């Protein structure tokens, strides 16, 4: 029964002796990969001469809460035009999770009221020398919004 042990502490000479005394029939020591990389090659070689194998484990944490199909479902809904809030409400998952699993560049906050074409027009008129106040009147956009568009 005591032929396999999982350790979370660095393998030092003292720790190895402790393990061998506690488990006289020890054949394998499992540890996190980060710990294995920090363990001296001398200790690993000495253990292998004693017939004890030291093996790093890839992952040993909490299992994932959402499956790959959940992530794909979120991305499909986003492509169809659903807002992150709508997805969060319909799938009953936190809004932050929807943003986390989104692969495209999605900004938080309200959607733009004015389209890209309008923004390009506002910027080009401003570059041509038309004052922001006149642009605001021409497109019936608040002056503050015109400045916001120009600033982008």
CATH code for position 78: 1.10.10
> Is 39 or 58 the better-scoring residue by pLDDT?
39
Residues 96 and 136 in one domain: no
Residues 103 and 126 in one domain: no
108 pLDDT higher than 70: no
Orientation of helix 68-79 relative to helix 84-91, angle to 10°: 140
- pLDDT, residue 42, reads 92
Residues 121 and 141 in one domain: yes
- pLDDT, residue 124, reads 93
Residues 120 and 146 in one domain: yes
Residues 74 and 104 in one domain: yes
Residues 9 and 53 in one domain: yes
Q: How confident is the model at residue 63 (pLDDT cuts 50, 70, 90)?
A: confident
Residues 8 and 45 in one domain: yes
Residues 105 and 84 in one domain: yes
Q: In whole angstroms, give the CA distance from residue 106 to residue 77.
A: 13
Domain end, chosen from 26, 41, 57, is at 57
Q: In whole angstroms, give the CA distance from residue 49 to residue 91.
A: 55
Contact 52, 27 (CB under 8 A): yes
- pLDDT, residue 107, reads 55
Q: Which residues contact 57 (CB under 8 A, 6 or more apart)?
A: 6, 30, 31, 32, 33
Q: Which residues contact 28 (CB under 8 A, 6 or more apart)?
A: 3, 4, 5, 52, 53, 54, 55
Q: In whole angstroms, give the CA distance from residue 132 to residue 138.
A: 10
CA 81 to chain centre: 23
Look up the domain containing 131 and give its range.
Answer: 116-151
Residues 88 and 66 in one domain: yes
92 pLDDT higher than 80: yes
Q: How confident is the model at residue 27 (pLDDT cuts 50, 70, 90)?
A: very high
Contact 116, 99 (CB under 8 A): no
H-run or E-run covering 151? helix 143-151
Domain count, the chain: 3
Q: Which residues contact 106 (CB under 8 A, 6 or more apart)?
A: 78, 84, 99
Residues 43 and 78 in one domain: no
Residues 50 and 67 in one domain: no
Residues 83 and 106 in one domain: yes
């Amino acid at each position: 029964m005591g032929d396999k042990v999982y350790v979370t502490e660095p393998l030092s000479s003292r720790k190895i002796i402790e393990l061998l005394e506690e488990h006289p029939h020890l054949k394998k020591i499992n540890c996190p990969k980060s710990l294995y990389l920090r363990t001296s090659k001398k200790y690993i070689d000495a253990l292998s001469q004693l017939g004890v194998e030291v093996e790093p484990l890839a992952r040993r944490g909490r299992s994932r809460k959402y499956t790959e199909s959940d992530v794909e479902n979120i991305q499909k809904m986003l492509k169809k035009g659903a807002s992150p809030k709508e997805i969060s409400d319909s799938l009953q998952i936190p809004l932050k999770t929807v943003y986390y699993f989104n692969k495209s560049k999605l900004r938080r906050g309200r959607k733009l009221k004015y389209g890209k074409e309008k923004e390009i027009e506002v910027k080009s008129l401003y570059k041509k020398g038309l004052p922001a106040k006149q642009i605001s009147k021409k497109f019936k956009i608040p002056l503050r919004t015109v400045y916001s568009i120009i600033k982008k």
